[in-house]
């Protein structure tokens, strides 16, 4: 702070000198100095109204403004100097022309004190602002952040009167996560039992998982089950342009939580401020994110375990968090929140349809089977879309058809009113029939649920295939089947029309990703071997994660796998050309084929298994 005061003093002196110069200029700008000859001429012409003399210095004022012969424009008031050798009878001349000789100066100059006060005014304003900023800093608002205004202290999330608190009854599909968090709830309810045993609860719980899996809902449920105050904040709220504000807000948040302990602090998207440090983006360790992260680490280290404050954080990118944040003693319990399985999806759908009137034909178990990979947020959106469709159709209840149409809209996109030429429509029918037929013929492939040539989203047609049960590991045979199915559209166009169109763009992207994973990450190539040559998401930096020779081998193997699958796709479609034509003709006639109709027209028996879990 000492250096800051020196800068303030130097700034004030500079401002004072500049103000004095400006004031002096304006004080004398309208008082030109004229020659004594000019003065005598004006007296003789009777144009001088009054003068004031002090020694040989004379000030005066004209009756009518005159042009200064020495330059400088017109003047009315003036200064002049009477030469010491002049022996003219000045008094007599002045009396003759009725010139008043005053006892006070004609031109009133500001006093030294007035000039001093005016000069000091800007400096006093600067000092006042500096003191205000210093007081805000001492008040803990962090650096110059006080200029942004003091924010109200954080408060627990309050319920709307009459609203029920979120509990584990409102959370479904993630039972294993509930088990992890039940320990936290029990500790908040019965802290004395843990203290007697000498046990300490985790100071922080990190919920990691894809977006929409219910991390925020879980944190609210923990607070609701334990019946304790719940402080919620997004990590981005701590970040400000002015360095230090985030750290001060973290201090205030933890201080308020301690006052009402036991309590829960929930920080959403903590990867915003919790990224690994030392990446070169910060300037000398004073980056705002680093200061905020350091403050969180300090506050969590300060927990004694008896305070009853537990920090729950959520992130989609646990892999980029700073190691100091996830070490034992801070976020020492990391809970993976994954998308729900089939039973979990059914339970989630039941929760989100509590207030939606369902028709008797709605089978939530069937909907759950056809929605693998969907998160809780996706299923909530699906239920809402079905309700919106029922309203548009002026129905009293949501039917199974509404659920199916809503699922198509969510998964495939909204229908487009696009009128295609008949030839292009026929080619699209063969394209989709190729996808569907290969999906039916390939052993272990996902069953075909629907085929349509109605344009949806960016696609001119869609073939929807989903597994009967959730898959967590994939065999090489299954992945090759996925590639063959994805190439089915291009292969059908090749077999029937001997052309290749741009309609296979998204198919080729899917094929490329699967083939790259097989060769470079999952050890399914003898040439590359059992290596993870492009680990994680290295395809984003393709060419930087492996040696050039390895990349050449990966490229060769990818091409080999895709070429083999494409040849097999073409061969199967030629061998089953009659079934391909039948599917295409049915699509041209009906535009959309459901699962049962598609298998019946293709003449293929759909093998079903007991899929109850």
CB 247 within 8 A of CB 294: yes
- Rounded distance between C-alpha atoms, residue 158 and residue 147, angstroms: 29
- Rounded distance between C-alpha atoms, residue 533 and residue 555, angstroms: 12
- Rounded distance between C-alpha atoms, residue 225 and residue 251, angstroms: 26
Token pair, residue 466, equals: 């989903």
Question: Annotated catalytic residue: which of 299, 432, 557, 568?
Answer: 432
Residue tagged 């000092």 (tokens): 127
φ, ψ of residue 75 to 5 degrees: the values are -145, 155
- Rounded distance between C-alpha atoms, residue 413 and residue 385, angstroms: 12
For residue 471, CA distances in Å to 258, 468, 513 come to 45, 9, 18
Token pair, residue 374, equals: 């969907």
- Rounded distance between C-alpha atoms, residue 144 and residue 137, angstroms: 7
- Rounded distance between C-alpha atoms, residue 155 and residue 173, angstroms: 31
For residue 156, give the DSSP letter. P
Angle (CA) 473 475 478, round 5° = 110
- Rounded distance between C-alpha atoms, residue 127 and residue 5, angstroms: 10
Active site residue 527: no
Dump strand ranges (E) for 183-317.
Answer: 204-208, 230-234, 263-268, 309-315
**Paired strand residues for 463:** 451
- Rounded distance between C-alpha atoms, residue 531 and residue 534, angstroms: 9
Residue tagged 């006892």 (tokens): 103
b/e burial code for range 505-528 (CB count within 10 A of at least 16 → b): eebeeebeebbbbbbbbbebbeeb
- Rounded distance between C-alpha atoms, residue 165 and residue 16, angstroms: 63
- Rounded distance between C-alpha atoms, residue 38 and residue 45, angstroms: 11
Q: Which of 404, 388, 392, 378 is nearest to 356 (CA)?
A: 388
- Bond into 262 cis (ω within 30): yes
**Longest distance between any two alpha carbons in the chain, whole Å:** 137
For residue 562, give the DSSP letter. H
CB 373 within 8 A of CB 218: no
**Active site (catalytic) residues:** 432
């Amino acid at each position: 702070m000492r250096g800051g005061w020196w800068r303030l003093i130097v700034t004030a002196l500079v401002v004072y000198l500049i103000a004095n110069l400006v004031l002096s200029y304006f004080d004398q700008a309208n008082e030109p100095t004229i020659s004594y000859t000019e003065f005598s001429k004006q007296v003789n012409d009777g144009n001088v109204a009054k003068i004031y003399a002090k020694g040989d210095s004379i000030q005066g004022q004209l009756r009518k403004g005159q042009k200064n012969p020495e330059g400088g424009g017109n003047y009315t008031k003036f200064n002049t100097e009477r030469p010491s050798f002049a022996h003219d009878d000045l008094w007599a001349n002045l009396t003759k022309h009725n010139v008043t000789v005053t006892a006070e100066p004609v031109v009133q100059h500001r006093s030294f004190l007035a000039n001093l006060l005016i000069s000091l005014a800007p400096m006093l304003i600067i000092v006042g602002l500096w003191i205000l900023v210093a007081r805000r800093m001492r008040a803990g608002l962090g650096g110059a952040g006080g200029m942004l205004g003091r924010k109200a202290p954080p408060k627990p999330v309050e319920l709307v009167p009459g609203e029920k608190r979120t509990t584990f009854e409102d959370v479904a599909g993630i039972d294993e996560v509930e088990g992890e968090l039940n320990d936290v709830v029990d500790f908040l309810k019965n802290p004395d039992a843990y203290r007697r045993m000498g046990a300490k609860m985790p100071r922080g719980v990190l919920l990691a998982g894809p977006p929409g899996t219910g991390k925020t809902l879980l944190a609210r449920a923990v607070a609701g089950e334990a019946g304790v105050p719940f402080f919620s904040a997004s990590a981005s709220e701590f970040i400000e342009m002015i360095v230090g504000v985030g750290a001060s807000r973290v201090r205030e948040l933890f201080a308020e939580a301690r006052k009402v302990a036991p309590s829960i602090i929930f920080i959403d998207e903590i990867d915003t401020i919790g990224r690994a440090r030392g990446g070169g983006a910060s300037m000398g360790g004073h980056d705002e994110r680093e200061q905020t992260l350091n403050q969180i680490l300090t506050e969590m280290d300060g927990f004694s375990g008896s305070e009853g404050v537990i920090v729950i954080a959520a992130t989609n990118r646990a892999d980029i968090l700073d190691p100091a944040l996830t070490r034992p003693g801070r976020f020492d319990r990391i809970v993976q929140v994954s998308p729900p399985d089939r039973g979990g999806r059914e339970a989630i759908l039941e929760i989100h349809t509590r207030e939606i009137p369902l028709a008797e034909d709605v089978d939530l178990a069937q909907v759950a089977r056809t929605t693998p990979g969907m998160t809780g947020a996706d299923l909530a959106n699906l239920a809402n879309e079905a309700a919106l469709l029922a309203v548009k159709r002026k129905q009293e209840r949501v039917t199974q058809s509404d659920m199916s149409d809503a699922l198509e809209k969510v998964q495939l996109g909204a229908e487009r009113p696009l009128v295609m030429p008949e030839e292009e429509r026929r080619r699209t029918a063969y394209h989709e029939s190729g996808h569907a037929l290969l999906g039916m013929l390939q052993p272990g492939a996902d069953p075909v649920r629907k085929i349509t040539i109605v344009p949806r989203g960016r696609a001119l047609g869609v073939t929807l295939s989903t597994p009967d049960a959730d898959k967590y590991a994939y065999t090489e045979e299954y992945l090759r089947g996925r590639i063959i199915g994805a190439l089915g559209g291009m292969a059908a166009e090749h077999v029937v029309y001997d052309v290749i169109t741009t309609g296979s763009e998204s198919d080729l992207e899917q094929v490329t990703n699967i083939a790259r994973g097989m060769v470079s990450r999952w050890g399914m190539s003898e040439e590359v071997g059992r290596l993870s040559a492009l680990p994680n998401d290295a395809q984003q930096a393709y060419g930087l994660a492996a040696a050039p020779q390895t990349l050449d081998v990966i490229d060769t193997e990818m091409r080999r796998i895709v070429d083999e699958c494409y040849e097999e796709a073409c061969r199967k479609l030629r061998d089953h050309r009659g079934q391909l034509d039948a599917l295409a003709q049915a699509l041209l006639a009906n535009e959309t084929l459901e699962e049962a109709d598609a298998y019946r027209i293709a003449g293929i028996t759909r093998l079903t298994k007991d899929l109850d879990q």
